[in-house]
Structure 1
Amino acid sequence: MTISRRTLLQAASVSSASLALPSIALAAEPLKELRLDYAYYSPPSLVLRRFGWLEDEFKKDGVAIKWVFSAGSNRALEYLNASSLDIGSSAGLAALLSKANGNPITAPYIFSRPEWTALVVPKDSPIQSLKDLKGKKIAATKGTDPYLFLLRALKTAGLKRSDIEHVSLQHADGRVALEQGRVDAWAGLDPIMAASELDSGARLIYRNVAFNTYGFLNVREEFLASHPAEVARVITAYERARKWILANTTEAAKIVAEEAKVSLQVALLQVKLRTDFSNPLPSQEHIKALQAAAPILVDEALVKPDADLNKAIASLVNTKFSVPLIQRT
């Protein structure tokens, strides 16, 4: 789990150059606690937490690892903005929305390329297409990929947010509301969505993998500037988890199943069939995906009219920091 001094120095040098934060002193007090999130939508975080690899890595330095549960991107980003997390996981477009609204974060690592959201209706629903959603109650968690997916999906059918009744619920509560008939549709999130599909017969009426933005591992800019070596060690651990998942997919699914309290079949659907772990390095691919998605943030007045989204994307997607840490599989 250790990485070389040369690699750490390379990462630290890249970090300070790419972030360009002259107002932040890079010298910092020794770290005593490292705060990260874990989430059911981030299998690598569950693997890391289960095996204690970060605890082992930082034990010799006297650094405690604190794990904080994120129920959705909105929670992870709120915790980062409040400085109660140092590193947190979210969807890419959700991170951009938060960044554009003032959250000082950067993303030096991609933990997955998932198809983790779709629009879901009960098995016996008469709704068959996006156009059928007009006037309907739809559950979605604000500030997350499923909510932004919903807005983008509606637009493809010529509908706006005002054409539906949005019910703001956290992901797990959205599933309950759908299955109890309190909403007509739900913008779901795996593995909860996969559980509703396999266990309750819920139907996915609209899927579009291009509207599922990537899994971003976000770091507070100040923390990355003052603790680049520690961030590099976390990313190295994430790389270990990613490669372990690729080599042990079923075992990884078992961990997801146990943590999220879903069946192994549900977890396998999420981990094996709906998640790509092959490309962890932030690149032009991720920048272009956010550029394509960004207009919905303006169209729906989720950011200020004068927000410079291209600038926000450029400072969010950190394409340099992890280069010396990642060997693409």
Structure 2
Amino acid sequence: MHHRRPRRTGAPPARAQSLGSNKANENLRAGAIDFGSTAGTPALLARANGTPLKTVDVYSQPEWSSLVVAKGSKLDSVEDLKGKKVAVTKGTDPYFCLLQALQTEGLDASDITVVNLQHPDGKTALERGQVDAWAGLDPYLSQSQIDNGSKLIYCNLDFNSYGFLNVSEKFLDAHPDLVQVVVDSYEKARAWIEKNPQAAEKILADTAKIEPAVAAQQLTERTRLDISPVPGAAQTKVLERIAPLLVSEHLVADAKDVGQALDTLYAPQFARKAAAS
């Protein structure tokens, strides 16, 4: 996931890559970045815990999180994970996908051993046999499947939250014109990718240094781009379903904090203007 700082005083924008939504939110909270792209649930969690961010654009509906086991594993279902070690990055979409998947079988995090690792380290741990399963994230997930034969045991598009572009409230208040520039850029890029998927796959493969097949699976097969960029009811529906988990897993102090965060999370005017242009 990337964080972007728009052009200021003639200087080019700086861009940095993080290892997950949790790191992007840490950098936003610290003031190290002005924009951070994350999954929706981590954005809500960050705001509920005091990070002054606003979601200004919804850039995709991805199926980027799934549960996988190593090639040759005898585990075939979520139910089989009981008592097993599962790698996952806490505070990210794969973590919340894992919790929701466990709920489908009447389980929760206490029924497994959660091994908290950043996404690439979770992939390595799975492939080295150090954990029994991994709640993974693309492109690492696709890499593990394509290159190492890792086996998908559970996926559910509805358990993934959307791709959110967030901005610090301080920057939004000071530079709404630049926020609009960034949102416009995201929307132009999204429209271009929809029209030029193969070219976009090549850019992703070259930039991320991944195999073309991995880029194609992530971008074309697992990412829906034909959605409204305006944050609103569709995202709220997903986040309201996940919100109780933030409380039950003691990730927030009070349920009221989650409700207040969700009520004030969106700044939809920028995406609305971009979509209309």
Is TM more than 0.5 here? yes
Q: Structure 1 residue aligned with 2:56, among 108, 111, 125?
A: 108
Unaligned regions of 5+ residues in structure 1, if any? 1-36, 40-44, 46-53
TM-score, normalised to structure 2, is: 0.95
User: How far, CA to CA, are the matches of 2:174 and 2:138 in structure 1?
Assistant: 34
2:16 to 65, 68, 88: 68
Is residue 247 of structure 2 the alignment partner of residue 298 of structure 1?
yes
Q: Which residue of 1 aligns with 2:184?
A: 236
Structure 2 residue aligned with 1:284: 233
Do structure 1's residue 245 and structure 2's residue 209 form an aligned pair? no
Which residue does the alignment assign to 2:267? Answer: 318
Equivalent residue, structure 2, for 1:221: 169
1:81 aligned onto 2:29? yes
Q: TM-score, normalised by structure 1?
A: 0.80
Question: 2:155 corresponds to which residue?
Answer: 207
Alignment of 1:1-329 (within 5 A): 38=2, 58=7, 61-279=9-227, 280-327=229-276
Aligned equivalent of 1:28: none
Distance 1:260 1:177 in 2: 21
* Structure 1 consecutive aligned stretches of length 4 or more whose deviation exceeds 6 Å: none
The question of whether the paired residues in 2 share the 8 Å contact of 1:89 and 1:216 is answered with yes
**Amino acid of the structure 2 residue aligned with 1:232:** Q
Conservation of the 8 A alpha-carbon contact between 1:286 and 1:317? no
- TM-superposed deviation, 1:311: 1.9
Letter in 1 for 2:138: D
Aligned mates of 2:230, 2:175 — CA distance in 1: 20
Aligned length: 276
Code of the residue aligned with 2:263 in structure 1: it is A
State the 1:273 CA deviation: 0.9
Whether contact under 8 Å (2:183, 2:270) holds in the other structure is: no
Amino acid at match of 2:151: R
1:306 CA drift (Å) = 4.4
C-alpha change, 1:213 and 1:306, in structure 2 (3 Å) is closer
Q: CA deviation at 1:321?
A: 3.2
SS at match of 1:76: helix
Unaligned stretches of 5+ in structure 2? none
Contact 1:149/1:211, CA 8 A, preserved across alignment: yes
The answer (yes or no) to whether the contact 1:99–1:312 under 8 Å persists in 2 is yes
Distance 1:299 1:320 in 2: 33
Please say if residues 247 and 255 of structure 2, whose CA atoms lie closer than 8 Å, have aligned partners that are also in contact.
no
Preserved CA contact (<8 Å) 2:38 2:164: yes
1:89 CA displacement: 0.5
Between structure 1 and structure 2, the one with the greater Rg is: 1
Paired with 1:239 and 1:209, the residues of 2 have a C-alpha distance of: 22
Post-superposition offset of 1:254:
1.1
Q: Secondary structure at the match of 1:308?
A: helix
Q: Supply the distance in 2 between the matched residues of 1:156 and 1:217 (Cα, whole angstroms).
A: 29
> SS where residue 296 of structure 1 aligns?
helix
Comparing 119-128 and 306-315, the one that deviates more: 306-315
Partners in 2 of 1:91 and 1:102 — Cα distance? 17
Q: State how far apart, in whole Å, the 1-side matches of 2:251 and 2:120 are.
A: 24
| Distance in 1, Cα, partners of 2:218 & 2:79 | 27
1:118 partner SS? strand
Secondary structure at the residue paired with 2:131? Answer: coil
Percent identity between matched residues is: 47
> CA separation in 1, counterparts of 2:57 and 2:255?
28
